[in-house]
């Protein structure tokens, strides 16, 4: 079983109330081969929600509020689901402060990027789960 970011499965759980469906991931979920999770929703944040970005060890929203606790709670709850389904592999939405892998927004809300992982991606990596972005997944699916 594969763990996937819920927005990639076509669920409108993003901060703007939209989704980012990837056909190959939607199909995996429909076939029962992937489990979708949205750590930010599981952390109790509303949809739509105020944009947030990682800034060092914290997560700050665009109004300057520290929302780290919700992000950590959502990551832990999503990890629980990952374990429940025995997932050792995850496909996560790129650049997100929760799900981003390798590159995320820089915390300045200026569209800039920096090296790093989202809070949930970091937790999965620490737990030994293999993670990739939907961009890497598409490259793999195309090859
Ligand atoms: Fe998608 Fe992850 Fe953001 Fe949820 S937290 S909307 S799954 S990128």
Q: Which atom of ligand 1 sits closest to the CA of residue 13? A: 6
Give the model confidence (pLDDT) of 83-115 as tens digits.
999 999 999 999 999 999 999 999 999 999 999
Reported as a pLDDT band with limits 50, 70 and 90, residue 143 is low
Q: How far apart are CA 59 and CA 21, in angstroms?
A: 25
- Tokens 């780290």 belong to which residue? 68
Residue 17 CA, ligand 1 centroid: distance in Å: 11
Predicted local confidence at residue 139, as pLDDT = 86
Residue nearest to atom 6 of ligand 1 (CA): 14
Whole-number average pLDDT of the chain: 97
| Residues 7, 19 contacting (CB under 8 angstroms) | yes
pLDDT at 39: 98
Residue 140 predicted with pLDDT over 90: no
Q: Whose CA is nearest to atom 4 of ligand 1?
A: 38
Segment 20-41 mean pLDDT: 98
**Which numbered atom of ligand 1 lies nearest the CA of 39?**
5
Residue 142's pLDDT is what?
66
Please give the average per-residue pLDDT across 77-87, as a whole number.
98
Given phi > 0 = left and psi -120 to 50 = alpha, else beta, which region is 70?
alpha
* Helix 68-84 × helix 119-126 angle, to 10°: 40
Q: Which residue in this structure is represented by tokens 């109330």?
A: 17
> Which pLDDT score is estimated for 66?
98
Mutate to test the pocket of ligand 1, among 99, 100, 124, 137 (most ligand atoms within 8 A of CB): 99
- pLDDT of the residue at 23: 97
Cα 47 to averaged position of ligand 1 atoms, centre (Å): 11
pLDDT at position 35 over 70? yes
Ligand 1 site: residues with CB under 6 angstroms? Answer: 5-7, 13-14, 38-40, 93, 96, 98-99
Nearest to 1 by CA among 94, 133, 129, 142: 129
pLDDT at residue 12 in the model: 98
């Amino acid at each position: 079983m594969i763990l996937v970011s819920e927005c990639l499965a076509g669920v409108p759980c993003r901060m703007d109330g939209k989704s980012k469906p990837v056909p190959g991931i939607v199909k995996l979920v429909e076939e029962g081969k992937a489990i979708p999770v949205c750590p930010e929703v599981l952390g109790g944040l509303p949809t739509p929600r105020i944009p947030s970005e990682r800034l060092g060890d914290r997560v700050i929203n665009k109004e300057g509020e520290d929302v780290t606790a919700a992000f950590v709670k959502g990551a832990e709850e999503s990890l629980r689901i990952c374990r429940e389904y025995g997932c050792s592999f995850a496909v996560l939405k790129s650049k997100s402060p929760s799900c981003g892998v390798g590159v995320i927004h820089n915390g300045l809300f200026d569209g800039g990027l920096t090296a790093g992982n989202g809070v949930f991606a970091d937790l999965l990596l620490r737990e030994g789960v293999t993670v990739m972005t939907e961009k890497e997944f598409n490259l793999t699916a195309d090859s």
